[in-house]
Structure 1
């Protein structure tokens, strides 16, 4: 079980581009030369999922071997956790609750719109990413948050299922300004490699 990244994002209420207020990642499982591309894709995915999830809802989205768990609060503050498929959905959503509650205590909501990307004064994400690598250790925290059990979590088959009608992931990747040329090439190569290994 592995957590790869945590994001705190401000969703634009008018449907514009989401803004990453803070992020932390652990990409040691990837080769040194892959890490920058993987990080760009995690950022890209977190923004897309945030923009496509309605305020006041949660979802867990499967994309290849990964899961992206998202919680968009009614005030548009959003948490995204990217993990492997073995990681517990319940613990991931408990972590999202904890992150957003703590972030709100440290960073006043009236400052969120004025922050530049990544500059929020909240430094607990790396420690939380490390602590929650073992969901069994974090499980004790889930007992304190009984409200999570009442929350509806939508499980999407793939990232494609949350895209709007007529949208294609390949087109979004091609148009994205968040992804460099190397990352786009990495995406195409990975897609071709995975396509040759799938069975009908």
Structure 2
């Protein structure tokens, strides 16, 4: 094992210790964690478009910001981002906007009548209205570029390179001024707010069961989840 490998593993160990008080379905650095400044500079973590007309939902396109995670764990975190984005998409009705908070993170969702749902994962500091305006732009452009016939059946993975630019550009919410001028005014009261992911699950559903049954998680990610849960007496993500 190289010196770089040992340093990354040591960093992962420190992050785990920083989460010892975690009690959420997400494995997130606490405010007093020494790595908190790194995460604080990240405003947007994920942008995706998910087909949610039937279960299980299918991720059609996505872009993720995983640079804050080590190469040993970034794939695990990426898989959990997809899993919980699909979970929320399945529970977002056509025409509905909702934001689901989970400790330091917020999942913003926009359901469309065409059978898709746009999802953005941000931190709490990122303005909700800006995130939802960006969602409108992303979903509109996706539908203009990809006719329904290209994604309504099967498990396609489509190209949408613009997401990478958006994820980079809109780390600064002020870059969204042009969106706010173009898009119709969005009424903040129409955005349904949930305090936890568990609050959007149906009665009897548990996050543990979603993880165990997920075909989108590798065996390594499921083991990663169980180990972190056992170590911290909580669940995992980010």
Summarize the Cα distance change of 1:54–1:172 in structure 2 as closer, same or farther, 3 Å threshold: same
Tell me, in whole angstroms, the C-alpha distance in 2 between the residues paired with 1:155 and 1:194. 27
* 1:1-150 map, 5 Å: 1-12=42-53, 15-114=54-153, 116-118=155-157, 120-149=158-187
Q: Retained in 1: the 8 A contact 2:129–2:188?
A: no
Give aligned pairs, total: 193
Tell me, in whole angstroms, the C-alpha distance in 2 between the residues paired with 1:146 and 1:168. 37
- Give the TM-score of the pair, scaled to structure 2: 0.75
SS at match of 2:209: helix
Q: CA deviation at 1:86?
A: 1.4
- Give the TM-score of the pair, scaled to structure 1: 0.88
RMSD over aligned Cα atoms: 1.9
Q: CA deviation at 1:17?
A: 1.0
- Alignment-derived partner of residue 219 in structure 2: 181
Summarize the Cα distance change of 1:194–1:92 in structure 2 as closer, same or farther, 3 Å threshold: farther
Tell me, in whole angstroms, the C-alpha distance in 2 between the residues paired with 1:193 and 1:152. 39
Q: Retained in 2: the 8 A contact 1:11–1:76?
A: yes
Runs of 4 or more consecutive aligned structure 1 residues displaced over 6 Å after TM superposition = none
SS at match of 1:47: helix
Tell me, in whole angstroms, the C-alpha distance in 2 between the residues paired with 1:168 and 1:49. 13
Q: Which structure has the bigger radius of gyration?
A: 2
Alignment equivalent of 2:209, drawn from 161, 171, 185: 171
Q: Retained in 2: the 8 A contact 1:87–1:135?
A: yes
1:29-55 Cα offsets, whole Å, 9 max, x none, are 112211000000001011111111112
- Alignment-derived partner of residue 38 in structure 2: none
SS at match of 1:62: strand
SS at match of 2:108: strand
Tell me, in whole angstroms, the C-alpha distance in 1 between the residues paired with 2:202 and 2:124. 24
1:50-103 Cα offsets, whole Å, 9 max, x none, are 111112101111123211111011112211011112111111101100001111
Summarize the Cα distance change of 1:150–1:68 in structure 2 as closer, same or farther, 3 Å threshold: closer
Please, which runs of 5 or more residues in structure 2 have no aligned partner? 1-41
Please, which runs of 5 or more residues in structure 1 have no aligned partner? none
Higher mean alpha-carbon deviation, 106-115 vs 26-35, is at 106-115
